[in-house]
A and B are shown apart, each in its own frame.
Chain A
Amino acid sequence: MIDLKGYGPALLDGAVVTIELALLSLALAVILGLIGASAKLSKSRVAIGVATTYTTLIRGVPDLVMMLLFYYGGQVAVNNLSDYLYDAYGVDFFFQFDPFIAGVLTIGLIFGAYMAETFRGAFLAVENGQIEAARAYGFSRWRTFHRIIFPQMLRHALPGIGNNWQVLLKTTALVSIIGLTDMVRVAEEAAKAERMPFHFFIPVAFVYLSLTAVSELFIKWLTKRANVGVVQGS
């Protein structure tokens, strides 16, 4: 079908890598975001301080710089650790820090900070009376969280999660710079080899466009589901 001078299959593999990377980073970001939001809303000063430092640091530094730091720095850190372990305990431990791991860690960490802000707002939007009612019914803290707060919070968080996801998807393109063979990398190599930039980059751009379009539809569907039973003013 679309052979693209024989690069078609490689581009398709690259697209799969991009999607895997995006989904894994999203999972990490959601987990970090929930932790960050809980820390920001807790009463512990230390937790608030750590969470605030985290979100502030992330906002001040470009994604690419952070990615380069994690990728190149991560390998040096792992090497130092393995040297230390070998010298001190004779443990032979080595771990190759690959671009995929660096990418998931960086993107997850960056979007975790944005998600923390989204979730914080969403948690605050849940009426206090709901939580008090749950406590009055003798719900444990965990049960209150997962039966009462979480489902109601999700409704408020979905638009924010959707926006973050759309940005995250486009950020995955950066991982090609540290050498992951995602579709951008394949397209770049093909474009250089064949001297036909438009021929390879425009299809890749359309893959991104269709991914964002599909996710937009999916988020719309999710929002509709999350808002079932909510009377909305027109």
Chain B
Amino acid sequence: MPDFIAELLNRNDIFTASTIMEYWGGMVTTVQLVFLSLILGLVLAVPLAIMRTSKNPLINGPVWFYTYLFRGTPLLIQLYIIYYGLAQIHGIQQTFWWDIFREAFYPALLAFTLNTAAYTAEIIRGAIVATPSGEIEAAKAYGMSWAMRMRRIILPSAARRAVQAYSNEVIFMLHSSAIASVVTLVDLTGAARNIYSRFYAPFDAFIFVALLYMALTFLLVFAFRKLENYLLQHQRPVSG
């Protein structure tokens, strides 16, 4: 950090260089947590969504049950069950899993991933179901196999229809990630809570963090608008 910024900050009672660094650390944790859980959630969600559209009740039933459970209960409960529950699994403390799940980051990551995968799977399912039947018929007429049809026609077409709803889910996930602070993780909200309790300055601590979240949110909104424009390029009116 340049000296003059450090000096400027040191004249301030609350936003000193060290608290700014604390917020920065929190921001890094939040971004890591949200980014990783979104990526893993998306990777899980695509096969789940395909399974969910299957006509076989043995394939779509379990996925329905999974999404129903995770969408019907608060994320906070899921986080508590995973965070407190993993430690209670008999014998886990002797395995290498314990080295991973002992830190609060990984139980939180697991809970967020499972939660976002459930929501995303339903979004993608909706988009797959809405594929115009003509596109599928045309693919069949060209002799495409199921896998090729899925990969070349159905999924790309569904992605275009899903991107709007998915951007909402991403922002929702960023906001939900604030609860990671209750399992001792120092994310953005956790940093704000620490700073609040140190200075007993609720307005400074929380309004600052609210602004940071807002900046992240609008960054995401902007990025998704760009992505949407790119994906829906062929549907843009010619003039203008």
Residues of A within 8 A of B (CB): 57, 59-66, 68-69, 72-73, 76, 170-174, 176-177, 184, 187-188, 191-192, 195-198, 201-202, 204-205, 208-209, 212-213
Residues of B192-220 whose CB lies within 8 A of A: 192-193, 196, 202-203, 206-207, 209-210, 213-214, 217-218
Interface size class of B (residues with CB under 8 A): 35 or more
Asked if B88 and A68 make an inter-chain contact with CB atoms under 8 angstroms apart, the answer reads no
Q: Which A residues lie within 8 Å of B182 (CB)?
A: 177
Residues of B51-100 whose CB lies within 8 A of A: 68-69, 72-78, 80-81, 84-85, 88
Closest A residue to B174 by beta carbon equals A62
Asked if B207 and A170 make an inter-chain contact with CB atoms under 8 angstroms apart, the answer reads no
Asked if A191 and B80 make an inter-chain contact with CB atoms under 8 angstroms apart, the answer reads yes
Given A66-B210, A76-B202, A208:B73 Cβ within 8 A: yes
A59, A60, A173, A195: residue with the most chain B Cβ atoms closer than 10 Å: A60
Closest A residue to B179 by beta carbon equals A64
Asked if A173 and B214 make an inter-chain contact with CB atoms under 8 angstroms apart, the answer reads no
Partner of B206, one of A63, A68, A208: A68
Q: Is B189 on the interface with A (CB-CB < 8 A)?
A: yes
Q: Which B residues lie within 8 Å of A205 (CB)?
A: 69, 73, 77-78, 81
| Majority DSSP secondary structure for residues of A touching B | helix
Residues of B within 8 A of A (CB): 68-69, 72-78, 80-81, 84-85, 88, 171, 174-179, 181-182, 189, 192-193, 196, 202-203, 206-207, 209-210, 213-214, 217-218
Asked if A65 and B178 make an inter-chain contact with CB atoms under 8 angstroms apart, the answer reads yes
Q: Which B residues lie within 8 Å of A69 (CB)?
A: 202-203, 206-207, 210
In angstroms, Cα B87 to Cα A196, docked, is: 10
In angstroms, Cα B182 to Cα A75, docked, is: 21
Asked if A65 and B210 make an inter-chain contact with CB atoms under 8 angstroms apart, the answer reads yes
In angstroms, Cα B74 to Cα A61, docked, is: 18
Asked if A209 and B73 make an inter-chain contact with CB atoms under 8 angstroms apart, the answer reads yes
| Majority DSSP secondary structure for residues of B touching A | helix
Asked if A62 and B213 make an inter-chain contact with CB atoms under 8 angstroms apart, the answer reads yes
B74, B84, B203: residue with the most chain A Cβ atoms closer than 10 Å: B74
Interchain Cβ contacts under 8 Å between A and B, 13 examples: A60-B210, A60-B217, A60-B218, A62-B174, A65-B209, A68-B206, A69-B203, A69-B207, A72-B196, A73-B202, A173-B77, A184-B77, A201-B85
In angstroms, Cα B179 to Cα A188, docked, is: 14
Q: Which B residues lie within 8 Å of A66 (CB)?
A: 210
Q: Which A residues lie within 8 Å of B68 (CB)?
A: 209
Q: Which A residues lie within 8 Å of B84 (CB)?
A: 191-192, 197, 201
Given A57-B214, A191-B84, A62:B76 Cβ within 8 A: no
Closest A residue to B193 by beta carbon equals A68
Q: Which A residues lie within 8 Å of B209 (CB)?
A: 65
> What is the minimal beta-carbon distance from A66 to any residue of chain B, in angstroms?
7
Q: Which B residues lie within 8 Å of A76 (CB)?
A: 202-203
Closest A residue to B172 by beta carbon equals A167
In angstroms, Cα B96 to Cα A233, docked, is: 59
In angstroms, Cα B72 to Cα A187, docked, is: 18
Closest B residue to A68 by beta carbon equals B206
> What is the minimal beta-carbon distance from A230 to any residue of chain B, in angstroms?
24
Closest A residue to B203 by beta carbon equals A73
Asked if A61 and B214 make an inter-chain contact with CB atoms under 8 angstroms apart, the answer reads yes
Asked if A176 and B76 make an inter-chain contact with CB atoms under 8 angstroms apart, the answer reads yes
